[in-house]
A and B are shown apart, each in its own frame.
Chain A
Amino acid sequence: MNAVLEVSNLKTYFKKNKKTIRAVDGIDFEIGKGETVALVGESGCGKSMTSLSIMGLVPAPAGKVVDGSIKLNGVDLVQMPEKKMYDIRGKEVAMIFQEPMTSLNPVLTIGDQLTGVIMHHLKVNKKTATEKAAEMLGIVGFSDPLKTLKDYPHRLSGGMRQRVMIAMAMSCNPKLLIADEPTTALDVTIQAQVLELMKDLSKKFSTSILLITHDLGVVSELAERVIVMYAGQIVEISDVDDLFEEPLHPYTEGLIHSIPAIEGEITRLQSIKGNVPAPGTVLPGCKFAPRCSKAFARCTEEVPGMYVREDGRCVRCFLYDGEVVE
């Protein structure tokens, strides 16, 4: 598969009170053309920081990508000077955020915001840009795009604002779309609409999507492959069906069993004991060991590597030692 995005050994660290916080601690993954990959994990696991690293938006000077590379079609974004990143962001990689109200400018019309992006990246005049903007709004399901162009964000509902964000993100036909919790702030009936839309668009434009979410239901709807992160590291990479059928890592298993089902038998929820480790905690062994129900002596002494199984699934857990090691 031709990888659109290749992330290798990415490390994003933060300095806080002279302590180093390893928000992203050496992760490797790739996303193929037209593929939808979900990045799953609980708050503080580093999933959002991964996306900001790709976008080159890590809050400086506290945070910094200290090691590794992020290759978009072979070009390393980490080494890219800031000025050049302006042309990458929005054109090659676009992003949609969780809360569409805070990511749209409240004092500019939808039209101004959409055409601004299009004029900058596609180097076209205002008239062409407006036509393109109206076309995009039509694609994301606005019945009267020309009227919407003149509206301000506060006049739109949450679902409609998220559609505007999607229209803006897709307007320059990016190779990679990063969707950071795109439907978390939306109601279920609106979420269903937006998920349908994202599915259609990724097919239509064969855009690769990096979907960042904590909602495993959304993952199951949209993604083909799943990356599970815990405390800054990837603990498992699997195809979506395999992951839900047979989760390998004890953390993934715990995560899946923590969710109450919408159908079938109701049993007591299996929670994962304890809390996510505080950022900056350094453990000698596996980061999940203190919460893991299957932990044994080795887990607290040695850091597990990534084991790649014969079927291609990767898991960072000593339970799978003896199978092929990368």
Chain B
Amino acid sequence: MSKANILLSQREKANERFHENLLDVQKLKMHFPIKTGILQRTTGSVKAVDDVSFTVKKGETLGIVGESGCGKSTLGRALIRLYEPTDGKILFGGNDVTKLKERDLGPVLRRNMQMVFQDPNASLNPRKSLGSILMEPLRVHGILNSREERMDHIAEILQTVGLHPTVINNYPHEFSGGQRQRIGIARALILNPELIIADEAVSALDVSIQAQIVNLLEDLQEKFNLTYIFISHDLSVVRHISDRVGVMYLGKLMELSDKESLYDEPLHPYTQSLLSAVPVIRKGGAVKRDRIILKGDLPSPANPPGGCVFHTRCPYAMPQCGSEEPVFREVVPGRHVACHLFN
């Protein structure tokens, strides 16, 4: 029995006490203070994530899409407690991890929740060899006892992500972008986590390499029964990889549905315009879809519009939308929308 398999079976035992929902996020808020003047008085706040609730089931992939500044990356970082959430609750495997102390973060949270970042150049230490990059998490979490065992485990993980174990002494600059992203994935995988948060994990890659990494993520999910939160601005990739998709705008979830309904019949006006804006390859005179071009730019998250945050750009805005904030609720079984049109 290989080491990965031993780790896996240990985890399966631990899972028995887990709830069906691996992650339960309740009214999560992540506000950043704006400080001005010599006294650095707090004069306002950027509501990067504002009142976001969702659950992630074990083994599924939840896609989070949105444009830059919508708070999708902040959401990912707050979930893994790289930020201290302002308010709300994060239940991970039944444990409340929102207020965990720093020293408990490792064993309870980080051991089981890992992150893959967008830019593998920036997220890998250029002065460390691949071997020591992958050794560090094992050392920090005290997994496996001897150096030999750890090295064997590293070699195995490297093969799993499609890298040859002979490269173990190479430095990050000796790898191509796609290979570096494989290292990033190997680093996330080496602790055998439950949940991987992939923040724009394939966005910096060329399409042919992107396809390799997307396929790799899918294979790994099947092999290790992983759960993913896949954060991306690329609607096509999210559609490909996710089971359910959440759409964010100015710190709020606008719509959360299973993938098929969301892409075939988007309910929220923002989702509709977002989907219609994606340039599509048209084959053989396929009919061009009607494009809803949104006016203007994203409002500043420091000063979001009152009422529904989307009402300033919404083609269907009603008087009510400017004054009253729509509730994010289930309008059809399995489909959550925050819009007055569905009241």
For the complex, is B275 an interface residue (Cβ under 8 Å from A)? yes
Which of A218, A254, A268, A273 is within 8 Å of B279, CB to CB? A218
**B147 → A minimal CB distance (Å):** 31
| A245 CA / B281 CA spacing, docked (Å) | 10
Instruction: Scan residues 227-249 of chain A and give those whose CB is less than 8 A from a CB of chain B.
Output: 241, 244-245
Q: C-beta contact mask, B122-147 vs A, less than 8 Å → 1, else 0?
A: 00000000000000000000000000
Cβ A193 vs Cβ B239 within 8 A = no
Cβ A192 vs Cβ B211 within 8 A = no
* A residues less than 8 Å from B233 (CB atoms): 187-188
* A residues less than 8 Å from B285 (CB atoms): 241
Interface size on B, residues (CB 8 A): 42
| A255 CA / B208 CA spacing, docked (Å) | 6
Known: A258-B211, A271-B215, A275-B176. A188 touches B206 (CB 8 A): no
Cβ B274 vs Cβ A259 within 8 A = no
Q: Considering only CB atoms, which chain B residue lies closest to A258 in the complex?
A: B211
| A158 CA / B212 CA spacing, docked (Å) | 30
* B residues less than 8 Å from A193 (CB atoms): 293-294
Which of A158, A160, A216, A269 is within 8 Å of B215, CB to CB? A269
* B residues less than 8 Å from A220 (CB atoms): 279-282
For the complex, is A262 an interface residue (Cβ under 8 Å from B)? yes
For the complex, is A263 an interface residue (Cβ under 8 Å from B)? yes
Interface centre among B68, B240, B263, B281 (most CB of A within 10 A): B281
For the complex, is A157 an interface residue (Cβ under 8 Å from B)? yes
How many A-B contacts at CB < 8 Å in the complex?
Answer: 125
Instruction: Scan residues 209-223 of chain A and give those whose CB is less than 8 A from a CB of chain B.
Output: 214-221
Cβ B206 vs Cβ A271 within 8 A = no
Q: Considering only CB atoms, which chain B residue lies closest to A242 in the complex?
A: B284
Q: C-beta contact mask, A144-188 vs B, less than 8 Å → 1, else 0?
A: 000000000000011110000000000000000000000000011
* B residues less than 8 Å from A43 (CB atoms): 177, 206
| A209 CA / B325 CA spacing, docked (Å) | 45
Cβ B297 vs Cβ A190 within 8 A = yes
| A268 CA / B211 CA spacing, docked (Å) | 9
* A residues less than 8 Å from B215 (CB atoms): 268-269, 271
For the complex, is A256 an interface residue (Cβ under 8 Å from B)? yes
Interface centre among B237, B283, B291 (most CB of A within 10 A): B283
Q: C-beta contact mask, B99-137 vs A, less than 8 Å → 1, else 0?
A: 000000000000000000000000000000000000000
Cβ A263 vs Cβ B291 within 8 A = no
| A200 CA / B295 CA spacing, docked (Å) | 17
Cβ B240 vs Cβ A269 within 8 A = yes
Cβ A262 vs Cβ B280 within 8 A = yes
| A255 CA / B210 CA spacing, docked (Å) | 11
* B residues less than 8 Å from A189 (CB atoms): 67, 273-274, 277, 293-294
Q: Considering only CB atoms, which chain B residue lies closest to A45 in the complex?
A: B206
* A residues less than 8 Å from B67 (CB atoms): 187-190
Cβ A269 vs Cβ B283 within 8 A = no
Q: C-beta contact mask, A68-109 vs B, less than 8 Å → 1, else 0?
A: 000000000000000000000000000000000000000000
Known: A217-B280, A262-B239. A157 touches B179 (CB 8 A): no
Q: C-beta contact mask, A184-210 vs B, less than 8 Å → 1, else 0?
A: 000111111101100000000000000
**B164 → A minimal CB distance (Å):** 13
| A160 CA / B298 CA spacing, docked (Å) | 11
| A198 CA / B297 CA spacing, docked (Å) | 18
For the complex, is B218 an interface residue (Cβ under 8 Å from A)? yes
Which of A196, A219, A262 is within 8 Å of B278, CB to CB? A262
Interface centre among B68, B208, B285 (most CB of A within 10 A): B208
Which of B209, B275, B284, B294 is within 8 Å of A262, CB to CB? B275
Which of A158, A245, A257, A263 is within 8 Å of B280, CB to CB? A263
Known: A269-B215, A275-B178. A214 touches B278 (CB 8 A): no
For the complex, is B4 an interface residue (Cβ under 8 Å from A)? no
Q: C-beta contact mask, B198-210 vs A, less than 8 Å → 1, else 0?
A: 0000000011111
* B residues less than 8 Å from A281 (CB atoms): none
| A254 CA / B209 CA spacing, docked (Å) | 11
**A253 → B minimal CB distance (Å):** 11
Q: Considering only CB atoms, which chain A residue lies closest to B294 in the complex?
A: A189
For the complex, is B235 an interface residue (Cβ under 8 Å from A)? yes
**A231 → B minimal CB distance (Å):** 13
Q: Considering only CB atoms, which chain B residue lies closest to A240 in the complex?
A: B282
- Can you list the 3 inter-chain pairs with the closest CB atoms, starting with the nearest? A217-B279, A260-B240, A271-B211
Q: A189-B273, A259-B211 are in contact. List 5 more A-B contacts (CB 8 A).
A: A216-B207, A216-B281, A260-B237, A260-B241, A268-B218
Listed A/B pairs (26) with beta-carbon separation below 8 Å: A157-B297, A187-B233, A188-B277, A192-B291, A192-B293, A214-B207, A215-B279, A216-B207, A217-B236, A217-B278, A217-B281, A218-B279, A244-B282, A254-B208, A255-B208, A258-B207, A258-B211, A260-B239, A261-B281, A262-B278, A269-B211, A269-B214, A272-B211, A275-B178, A275-B179, A276-B176
